[in-house]
Amino acid sequence: MMTISLFETIAQHGHEGVLTCYDAKSGLKGFIGLHNTTLGPGLGGCRVMRYASEAPAFADVLALSEAMTYKNSLAGLPYGGGKAVIWLQEGQEKTPELIDAMGRCIKSLNGSYFTATDIGSTSADMKRMKAISPYVSALSPEDGGLGDSAILTGLGVYQGIRAAVKHRLGKTSLDGVKIAIQGAGKVAYHMLSHLTQEDVTVYITDTNAEAIAKCQAAYPNIKVVAPTEIWHQSVDILSPNAIGGTITNEVLANTTATIIAGGANNPLSHKGVATTAATADILFAPDFAINSGGVIVLSTELAKGTIEEAKAKTLGIYDTALKVFEVAEARKINTLEAAIALAKENIANHAKG
């Protein structure tokens, strides 16, 4: 049993509700979190991941769905914050039956939540869910979707990095900049296609040898380092692009970087790290302000739009990030607080009509 007060925790995060998903036959244990649906139905991916217990799975769905509220708001999308989590227990593998069971849970919400791919789920999983529930995005092009959303997530994070370099270093290009990238997955891979067009020194790491090999094959000039060494490189930018919670006060105390900007969701170990960064004059680009390229693709797909329309909107992340930095300075608050404040103001203005 969870040793937390469910309703107190939900209230602290400001959620509208959390659906507990259980199916004995398939072995499904999971959650769907709806944080705020003022702007529209919740939209966010379905994470399929191993957790030590139900408590961290529950905490993850709360944090991720809350971040989706802010992400969708800052991106100007007609969707609120939602997220699904499938808790894989020890020895349990993802199965078609597990995906089908979650699809039925999503269908039961009658359009209050739209799902998509996330860590551990694929476009093939979305195709299965789509056969059960209409509230699904992130389909492959042959199934009527817009394809891999990580492509524009990478572009958006690159735009956020450009904005951070402009604001913090006063440079309009990344020439001469050094960046340490933690995580060589799809987002980082596509981000590299933009970074390597400029004279940027890239240090990269991942525990997945295949992911590193793919990046090295495409971009042979990148420098691969051990996972334990990535935060200790002499760089201008730290870019977390793997799981959340990797940027700690200790990392900040031992880095030369003056910018934190990456594609990972919830990269700070806790919200207080944003204050530590501001105090240390390290510019943190809030994840949900710059990694929204993927959800822009999902929203565009649901609206039957084109990938060109999604790309044009993704390029606007540069201006969004600059606005966050400027508001933080003007209001004398950290950038995480500024991004949340701007997102909440958008929601409040929408509610007023």
Q: Which residues contact 81 (CB under 8 A, 6 or more apart)?
A: 33, 34, 35, 36, 37, 42, 43, 44, 65, 66, 67, 68, 69, 70, 71, 72
Nearest alpha carbon to residue 177 among 281, 290, 259: 259
Nearest alpha carbon to residue 176 among 189, 192, 157, 195: 195
Q: Which of 29, 71, 83, 130 is an active site residue?
A: 83
| Cβ proximity of 286 and 132 under 8 Å | no
Tell me whether residue 83 is one of the annotated catalytic residues: yes
- Residue 273's identity, in one-letter code, is V
The edge-to-edge listing of strands for the beta sheet with 259-260 is 223-224, 201-205, 178-182, 237-240, 259-260, 283-284
CA distances for 296 relative to 44, 72, 143, 207, angstroms: 11, 8, 19, 29
Nearest alpha carbon to residue 300 among 140, 97, 137, 102: 137
Q: Write out the two tokens for 285.
A: 């680009």
**101: burial class by Cβ within 10 Å (0-12, 13-18, 19+)?**
buried
Q: What distance in Å separates the CA atoms of residue 283 and residue 277, rounded to the nearest whole number?
A: 7
Q: Kindly list the catalytic residues.
A: 83
